[in-house]
Structure 1
Amino acid sequence: MKKLSNMIPSALQGFFAKPVPCNSEVEPLEMPLLRRRAPRGALLRIACPDPTTEEMHRDRHQYRAQWLVRQERWEEMAALLHDADENREMTPGGMPVAELMAFGARADVILAAEHALFDGKPASDAPLMAGIEALEHVLADHSKSHVIAAIVAQAHMDIGWAWRGTGWDGDVPARNRTAFEAHFDRAEEILVPFEKDTAGSPLLAATRCALLGGSGADARMVADRYERLIDLNPENPRPMRAMGNHLLPRWHGSYDQLELEARRTAARTEETWGAGGYTWVQFDAISCDARACANLDLPFFIEGLRDILERRPDPHTANLLASYCASAIGQAAPSEDAAGEVRAEIADCARWIVRDHMTELHPLLWAHAARGFDNNLRVRSPSRFAASGREEAMRIITGLFQREIEAGKRVIFTEGRRQIALPG
């Protein structure tokens, strides 16, 4: 049986809510958790933009598509999405613009369905099918558009996951499983006429990869589909991360297959990522599977971390990798086995990532890392979620600079010099 938390394919992953506003300078002395550790007068200051540059870009593309479909301007939206897909447009943090727009175009329908299915069983009078039926009418009116086909197919899969949930197989009621399978069957049916278009469209290729979440595919099929998607846009790391998850034994693969495809991906994407392709494929797999972690080629993985930051030195990526090493990996339950040793080495990488690459703090990434990068978390209070991420980050970063702080120095992160330790 499989537990599906952390495993939703990349094309179906949700988007973060807005963070709570935070000051441009964060002073740990104002935070009770940190006051116990830092001497009086010591300060650690780091810019905390709200929203971040990455969040602004993501919101702009998502809301633009959402606004256009609310105005029934589907042809205009589809043309913009097609251009973004064809040109491989991405945000500064590496998120494909086409995927953001596709989510925005179906967001109203998905959010309504998720609300109706919040407890796993809709009310008898819930208009659960109204939204997806409206999208089906749009598809009928634009039957030759592979872009709209991808949006409607993804909407079906999103609703299927809303029915199923992310629990263990045995916990899913028969009615919910039937609905899940029906939506995935319909999604696959929608994509059949556009199979030849997948060769040139990352959006379509990502949608076909997302179908793997509802199938009994073997490891070879998984690897082949993701290989096509990765080759279409090697600068997008999300398919590499999703492939690594899908190649775990709990899904469709094996540990040997995971290692093989990680190395093959590194070789194919070396020009883009150096050794980073290996790191991206292993990224989520080792965070949720102890044996995969124990089998890791640790020097190759760490080389990949360095290559990723050399090639993408933006604040979003620095926060992503720092929070991953320090929180997603570093806060795992300690163990003295091989996996524990690997985790300890990866967690120690947070020290040089923070010191050499971080210039600002992105609370939502840290909050998400503390929860294993589970994109299906139900965040009831975005402000508290962001605040928890800020607290987690400040606790960890303060610990990394504890020697300087105890010596009475102030640690100030700047754009040009990363961080400076000054006398208090």
Structure 2
Amino acid sequence: MRPFSTGFSALRTALNRPGQPGAIARRSTGATGLGPLRPRVEIPVCDPCPETAARDKHLSRGRFLARQDAWDRLAAEFHTAERDRHMTPGLLPVAGLLASGARADVMAVARCAVQRTEPRRARAVLAALDLSMEEQPDCPAIAYVAAMAHVDLARDWRGASPPGGLSPQRRDAYNWHMRRAAGLADRYDPFECESPAWAEVRCALLEADPRPGLRAADDFEDLIDLAPLAVGHYTALGRAMRPKAFGSWEMLERQARRTAERTRDLWGAGGYAWVYIGALEADAEAERRLDAEYFAEGLHDILARQPSQHMANRLAAFAGLTMGGPSRTGSARRRIADSLGWITQDHLRELHPRVWALAPMPGRAHPAETEAEDMVRRGRIRAMSSLAEFYAPALQSGHCLVFGPKGMSLMRGT
């Protein structure tokens, strides 16, 4: 078992004595007076952070090229990004962002048709991408843009309901778009094309497969093999292995361990943690089979290999928000939530509010897209509340929590 933190031993000795009101570690989840504690947390805010800037850049580039009908150029940049496995600072594939930007305008119009329940209109809108494919029938990049447009629109028709629970009109529309995407996916083998993007399409199509459990684990294994640094593929596997998706709690545990072993050279035990993070973000029940000590080791390994502030904020938000709140002493949930201590003390130097604003919370609706200013405000509130709750005993004893380039300090307030 790894130490709770490093570099704060003297401070912990003073504040973590049993029964002392100033203990750093959270002693209960029923801390009171959180509102007045917020000003006692001082941390630099970085917005837009490098990850947000990179995502916006690639999305805008894809949208620009599509608006100019520069599909040749888009295909070339997509291919380069795929071949060289270009990633954003937060390890999101650049090729996928280019493609998402390229279909953004078409999707905005098509989604209006979905909102009005006009399936023919929605199909007609996506026909614009079909025309682009006809001009370059053997271009995997353009075909990928079209395939993911059909997947996205199928999911819009489905909404939060399972396909079998849709009205006949919505079910027909959902099936039509999934069939179109599947027809395109059949033309491109992910390994022959060395394309994680097409492996991702195959994973996306699992929800329309009548027997997805037979191939779900294999399809995600292929996806991770093709892009082992893309953390979104691991979290997608975790969501897919839940009983409410294509697996079971036993399959989730098995696949998390298998993935960790296959990617140990890149992530150490981090593969185990990433898969479970995906499951836990979608369903709190995923902790049933989780090995909390192995998971904690995985968190340490992730930050040892990716010590960026984006990653520190990503995992702090997961521990403090997704896994925060009431939990039993000694439970896996409490063990994970308490990781917020060493993550903030050893790694967090600045706040990336958009990361906190978008952190999933099982059982609650995912935050809707809002203006950037509102998202930043929500992220700051979430982060400050989480930090104030976790460090409430120390803050209530008169300390201030101060973050800076050299780390976190607890200082006596004035």
Give the TM-score normalised by structure 1.
0.83
1:271-296 superposed Cα distances (whole Å, 9 cap, x missing partner): 11000001111112134445431211
Structure 2 Cα separation of the partners of residues 409 and 367 of structure 1: 26
2:306 to 284, 302, 312: 312
User: 1:257 and 1:408, CA in 2 relative to 1: closer, same or farther beyond 3 A?
Assistant: closer
Which has the higher mean CA deviation after the structures are superposed, 95-104 or 188-197?
188-197
Structure 2 Cα separation of the partners of residues 316 and 110 of structure 1: 29
2:203 is matched with which residue?
209
Structure 2 residue 413 is the aligned partner of structure 1 residue 413? no
How much has 1:52 moved relative to structure 2? Answer: 0.9
Q: How does 1:236-247 map to 2 (within 5 A)?
A: 236-247=230-241
8 Å CA contact retained: 1:218, 1:253: no
Structure 2 Cα separation of the partners of residues 319 and 250 of structure 1: 28
2:37 is aligned with what amino acid? Answer: R
User: 1:266 and 1:123, CA in 2 relative to 1: closer, same or farther beyond 3 A?
Assistant: closer
Structure 2 Cα separation of the partners of residues 355 and 345 of structure 1: 16
Structure 2 residue 145 is the aligned partner of structure 1 residue 148? no
Q: How does 1:61-100 map to 2 (within 5 A)?
A: 61-100=58-97
User: 1:311 and 1:68, CA in 2 relative to 1: closer, same or farther beyond 3 A?
Assistant: same
2:359 is aligned with what amino acid? Answer: A
Structure 2 Cα separation of the partners of residues 372 and 354 of structure 1: 22
How much has 1:198 moved relative to structure 2? Answer: 5.1
Q: How does 1:19-418 map to 2 (within 5 A)?
A: 34-37=34-37, 43-118=40-115, 121-122=116-117, 127-168=121-162, 171-195=165-189, 200-331=194-325, 334=326, 341-369=331-359, 371-372=361-362, 377-418=367-408
2:66 is aligned with what amino acid? Answer: V
How much has 1:151 moved relative to structure 2? Answer: 1.0
User: 1:238 and 1:200, CA in 2 relative to 1: closer, same or farther beyond 3 A?
Assistant: same
1:368 is aligned with what amino acid? Answer: L
Structure 1 Cα separation of the partners of residues 200 and 161 of structure 2: 24
User: 1:44 and 1:61, CA in 2 relative to 1: closer, same or farther beyond 3 A?
Assistant: same
Structure 1 Cα separation of the partners of residues 68 and 57 of structure 2: 17
How much has 1:167 moved relative to structure 2? Answer: 2.9
Which has the higher mean CA deviation after the structures are superposed, 393-402 or 235-244?
393-402
How much has 1:170 moved relative to structure 2? Answer: 6.1
Structure 1 Cα separation of the partners of residues 118 and 215 of structure 2: 38
Q: Give the 3-state SS of the residue equivalent to 1:344 in structure 2.
A: helix
1:257-276 superposed Cα distances (whole Å, 9 cap, x missing partner): 21111111100100110000
User: 1:93 and 1:155, CA in 2 relative to 1: closer, same or farther beyond 3 A?
Assistant: same
In the comparison of the two structures, how many residue pairs are matched? 382
1:361 is aligned with what amino acid? Answer: L
8 Å CA contact retained: 2:237, 2:278: no
Structure 2 Cα separation of the partners of residues 240 and 375 of structure 1: 22
How much has 1:346 moved relative to structure 2? Answer: 1.1
| CA-based RMSD | 2.5
User: 1:402 and 1:315, CA in 2 relative to 1: closer, same or farther beyond 3 A?
Assistant: same
1:352-405 superposed Cα distances (whole Å, 9 cap, x missing partner): 111211111122222222544999653355533432221111011123333443
* Structure 2: unaligned runs, 5 residues or longer: 1-32
8 Å CA contact retained: 2:282, 2:360: no
Structure 2 Cα separation of the partners of residues 408 and 346 of structure 1: 27
Q: Give the 3-state SS of the residue equivalent to 2:411 in structure 1.
A: strand
User: 1:353 and 1:82, CA in 2 relative to 1: closer, same or farther beyond 3 A?
Assistant: same
How much has 1:128 moved relative to structure 2? Answer: 2.6
Structure 2 Cα separation of the partners of residues 171 and 378 of structure 1: 24
How much has 1:301 moved relative to structure 2? Answer: 0.7
8 Å CA contact retained: 1:266, 1:276: yes
1:396 is aligned with what amino acid? Answer: S
1:262 is aligned with what amino acid? Answer: A
Which has the higher mean CA deviation after the structures are superposed, 169-178 or 64-73?
169-178
8 Å CA contact retained: 2:272, 2:298: yes
Structure 2 Cα separation of the partners of residues 290 and 92 of structure 1: 28
8 Å CA contact retained: 1:89, 1:98: yes
Q: Give the 3-state SS of the residue equivalent to 1:421 in structure 2.
A: strand
